[in-house]
Amino acid sequence: MSEMTASDMLRDPLIRQVLRADRISLASFAALLDAASQRQARRAAENAAPRPAAPEAWSGEALSTV
């Protein structure tokens, strides 16, 4: 089985039953999934290797084409 997407989780009948039993609205759960996704993306970006500077930035002036 593959991982569920946020959309899959919001449509899943079992998850909807659990949310209903716990009195959590679908909108609140969707907001929670969105916030977690954004937080994870931010952390991944912070931990990513730094990207090298563009060649134009190396000498302080744009490279000319000859």
What's the pLDDT tens digit per position in 21-59?
999 999 999 999 999 999 999 998 888 777 766 666 555
Q: Is-above-0.85 flag for pTM? A: no
Integer Cα distance of 48 and 19 in angstroms: 35
Percent helix, strand, coil in the chain, to 5, is 60, 0, 40
